[in-house]
Structure 1
Amino acid sequence: MMRLEMILASGAVGLSGLWGTLGSAASGGFFVPAEEEPHQRTFMQWPASRQVHSDPVFRKMAQQTIADIANSISEFEEVVMLAAAEDHREARAMLAEAVLLWDIPTEDLWCRDSGPIFVTNGQEELAVSHIQFNGWGEKQVNRQDSQIARRVAERLGLPLLPSGLRGEAGGVEQDGHGLLMAHESSWVNENRNPGMSRDLVEEKLLRAYGAEQMIWSEGVWNEDITDYHIDSLARFTGPGRVLINLPDDADPHDPFHLAGIKTHDRLVAAGMEVEVIPEPYERRVQSYDFVASYANYYVCNGAVIAAEFGDRETDEIARAALARHYPGRDIVMLNVDLLGEMGGGIHCATQQMPAV
């Protein structure tokens, strides 16, 4: 949590947001800290399912990509890779010695969505705020992945705090200081939360994250597996600051471009300081459904782990923007094209456990 003098000096939080932030800490309420706050460790998941990844060559490539990310993060903080015991030998061969393996079975690699959401009460206590993963609205097998958050909480001896929601942490972005943003399509959706109004979903999300205010935009329904997760478009980089990834020339027939522009305008109207990073144009993978998101980065202790796409100009623009928004951290950019082909990125594959 930001100290009072830092919040006041920033001038970026309104009085109601400041009161909510201080009130949460004073009341002993649990909240999700900002991602840039110190971590105890990072959790990741091993993509092991032959049902999800039926092509053995592609599966091996996905595993190597996940290992590359884990190995990079492990240079800055502890990484725990979740995998069934029978998958440990295969994983160990690709992972750096510093990466730990826990015997928690997995199907896919998207730990942001199926992994535990850690909350703290500011009194050196942790818990897991539980939003039930259901395979993005039962679009994918999740017999093991839907149990990961609970199993991690049990192994750590932490209480599991039910939210009453189905969904994924990649579908909501939080600044750690009382503000959330999300696309309705990922939450107010019959495939996750049937019969719930947006107001009710908002109430439950605010409680789950220990936040006070929320910015909504419509998003895109039924065009991708996530129903347009916000973390591939826009990220909070501090109180009142947002980094957003948009094309220089929006395609008027692309629903994601149109929805992204609308989200940008909502954030500006809400008083956010918004910086735009252009999407890469001369990228290695040109397929229509490839996710080329610079915004889907991960902030760990001392570094930002981000994607590069082979466009020298926009890769450098993204690097410079991340360095400005996260001063004093190494900017590590990786080729994670396999994740983009699968519809996600580095942030989607990671989940932080805050230090207390």
Structure 2
Amino acid sequence: MPAETAPHERTWMAFPREGFTLGDEASEREEGYAVWTAVAQAIAEFEPVTMVVDPTEMTRARRMLGAEIEIVEAPIDEFWMRDMGPTFVVDDARPGTLAAVDWVFNGWGAPDWAEWQKSALIGRFVGELLGVEVVSSLLVNEGGGLHVDGTGTVLLTDTVQLDPRRNPFADKARVEAEMARTIGATDAIWLSRGLTRDYDDLGTNGHIDIVATFASPDRVLLHEQQNPDHPDYAVSRRLRGELEDAFAARGRDVTITGLPAPATLRDDTGIVDWSYVNHLVVNDGVIACGFGEDVADARAREILADAYPGRRVVTVDARPLFDRGGGIHCITQQQPAV
């Protein structure tokens, strides 16, 4: 699996459809449609975007997205493309060869509220649409549950891949063997957990893509909660220690750069998990999460611009996404150029 910083052919997304995730009120639904559209349009400034759209939403999608976004029709129920869609890989032995890993998707552990049976078919659908090899996996996993450096290292969390609601018979050795077979990962670094709110009913139980990511093989960006009144103050320090120990044990000199959390601690639901780590790297750019805090958003842009030199950082207000359980990285999936 190439690093996210490698050149992209396009980004894949899925358009929202009515249901639990989008919201019950008309205002909630309009907010959801608008933020998915805003992210797509921001990405389209840098690279092509293909949007999978449920048949019930085709008219709205065409109206809102405009001609610059390619639309593909397919039945979906959930619309977090990172998690339900394919994870793309390339074959070093056959240059120019692309494949799509099709994980088992069960709605983040088959919670009672999730509708996921239609979207569980999208990974294979996209691969077949592209005419590439589909690498089937029996591992229940989501794209938001892993991050790679492009040289064989993968970041994972104990509470996702070893979740008994996902993989009741898995252990680390089995997961690592499957990561090697599917995405070519030769070294797995396990973190013990994710952020606090991610363990609520609407959470993913610890996705890595809200916690830490590789900016390059020798630099990791880590969520950093700086307020001791937030439970992630302790969590982010614990995770920093785990990363430091893991890289030291491997003799790797990796810089761990903190991405400070916004100042807001709570919303109407409870403790927030607002994280600037959940950004998307695109061709010549970075699509960053914004949280309506000028100082914190600007500081995040500066750190991201330094971490990804030569790329323009664009901020999109991600609060409506986090209200629904994810962020910008969660609703997108890059297709590497081959």
TM-score by length of 2: 0.90
Confirm whether residue 266 of structure 1 aligns to residue 238 of structure 2: no
Q: Name the SS for the 2:310 alignment partner.
A: coil
Q: What is the CA–CA distance in structure 1 between the aligned matches of 2:329 and 2:297, rounded to whole Å?
A: 17
1:89 Cα deviation (Å)? 1.0
Q: Residues 259 and 187 (structure 1 numbering): CA distance in 2 closer, same or farther, change over 3 Å?
A: farther
Percent identity for Structure 1 against Structure 2? 34
1:90 Cα deviation (Å)? 0.5
Q: Is the 8 A contact 1:285 1:337 kept in 2?
A: no
1:261 Cα deviation (Å)? 2.3
Q: Residues 136 and 194 (structure 1 numbering): CA distance in 2 closer, same or farther, change over 3 Å?
A: same
* Mapping 1:1-356, distance limit 5 Å: 32-55=1-24, 56-122=26-92, 123-139=95-111, 140-219=114-193, 222-224=199-201, 225-251=203-229, 254=231, 256-271=232-247, 272-282=254-264, 285=267, 287-356=269-338
1:79 Cα deviation (Å)? 0.3
Listed as ranges, the gaps of 5+ residues in structure 2 are 248-253
Match of 1:29 in 2: none
Instruction: Give the stretch that moved more between structures: 300-309 or 279-288.
Output: 279-288
1:165 Cα deviation (Å)? 0.3
1:177-199 CA distance string (max 9 Å, x none) = 11111111011011111111122
Q: Name the SS for the 1:93 alignment partner.
A: helix
Q: Residues 52 and 320 (structure 1 numbering): CA distance in 2 closer, same or farther, change over 3 Å?
A: closer
Q: Name the SS for the 1:130 alignment partner.
A: strand
AA matched with 1:177:
T
Q: What is the CA–CA distance in structure 1 between the aligned matches of 2:301 and 2:266, rounded to whole Å?
A: 18
Listed as ranges, the gaps of 5+ residues in structure 1 are 1-31
1:285 Cα deviation (Å)? 4.7
Q: What is the CA–CA distance in structure 1 between the aligned matches of 2:153 and 2:45, rounded to whole Å?
A: 31
Q: What is the CA–CA distance in structure 2 between the aligned matches of 1:286 and 1:107, rounded to whole Å?
A: 26
AA matched with 2:242:
R
1:217 Cα deviation (Å)? 1.5
Q: Name the count of aligned residue pairs.
A: 323
1:204 Cα deviation (Å)? 1.1
Q: Is the 8 A contact 1:46 1:106 kept in 2?
A: no
1:81 Cα deviation (Å)? 0.5
Q: Name the SS for the 1:306 alignment partner.
A: strand
Q: Is the 8 A contact 2:35 2:318 kept in 1?
A: yes
Q: Is the 8 A contact 1:163 1:205 kept in 2?
A: no
Q: Is the 8 A contact 1:297 1:305 kept in 2?
A: yes
TM-score by length of 1: 0.86
Q: Residues 284 and 66 (structure 1 numbering): CA distance in 2 closer, same or farther, change over 3 Å?
A: farther
1:268 Cα deviation (Å)? 1.3
